Amino acid sequence: MKPSSPKSAKLCPIKSKYKIIEHTADIGLKIYGATLEELFLNGALGFFSLITDTRILKKSEAKEEKVSFTLSSENAGDLFLKWLRELLFVFSTQKLILLDFDFRILTEKQLEIEACGRVFDPQHHEQKYEVKAVTYHQFKMEKKKSGWQAEVIFDI
C-alpha cells in the first residue's frame, strides 16, 4: 500500500499524531491516523518516542539497519497490538529504533513491511522509558469519521 498523498491527508486533517497518556505506574499513547497506514506509522513513531528522542537519533551517525516482517491477525485491533509488540521485540533484541517505514501490504488483517532504523546506544543516546510490554489493558481502537484512533498502555 502506497503512503497517503498530501491531497488525501488534507481531506481528513489530524491535529496530532499521538499524545502521551499518564497512567499509574505505566504510560500510554493515544494515537491518531487519517488512514490505517497513518495510524500504524504514528503508533510506531509514538512508541519509539517513549524510548528516546528520535529526532536526535535520526541525525546521529549511529549504525543504520533494515528489517522486514509480515504479521497477520483476525482484526485490525489485534494486528495493531502485534505491530507494536513486534517493534518492541526488534528494539529489545537488536536495539533498533525504526525511523522509516515502507508498508508493502497493510489491510485490517495483514501487514508486510520493510523498515529502516538506527541502532540505539545507551552510551550515546538518552533513554526516556524502558518499555517492558504492550498491554491489552484499556486498549481501544476504532474507525471514526475523522479517521482511526487507538489507545494503548505500555508497561514500563
Please tell me the total number of residues recorded for the chain in this structure: 156
Write down the residue that cell numbers 483476525 correspond to: 74
What is d(CA 30, CA 10) in angstroms, rounded to the nearest whole number?
21
Report residue 12's pLDDT band, with 50, 70 and 90 as the boundaries: very low
Residue range 28-36: mean pLDDT, rounded:
97
What's the CATH fold of domain 16-155?
Answer: Archease, Possible Chaperone; Chain: A; domain 1 (3.55.10)
Residue range 53-67: mean pLDDT, rounded:
89
- Helical H segments across the chain, by residue range: 6-11, 36-51, 54-59, 76-94
**What pLDDT is recorded for position 111?**
98
Residues 6+ apart with CB under 8 A from 48: 54, 87, 91, 97, 98, 99
List Cα–Cα distances, 46 to 12, 18, 113, 153, in angstroms: 20, 6, 18, 12
pLDDT tens, position by position, 76-108: 999 999 999 999 999 999 999 999 999 999 999
The answer to whether the CB of 29 falls within 8 A of the CB of 39 is: no
Residue range 113-119: mean pLDDT, rounded:
96
Report residue 9's pLDDT band, with 50, 70 and 90 as the boundaries: very low
What is d(CA 85, CA 7) in angstroms, rounded to the nearest whole number?
32
Chain-wide mean pLDDT for the chain?
Answer: 89
List Cα–Cα distances, 41 to 25, 121, 141, in angstroms: 26, 23, 15
Residue 53 has which C-alpha cell?
528522542
Report residue 147's pLDDT band, with 50, 70 and 90 as the boundaries: very high
| β-pair partners for 31 | 18, 150
Report residue 15's pLDDT band, with 50, 70 and 90 as the boundaries: low
**What pLDDT is recorded for position 63?**
85
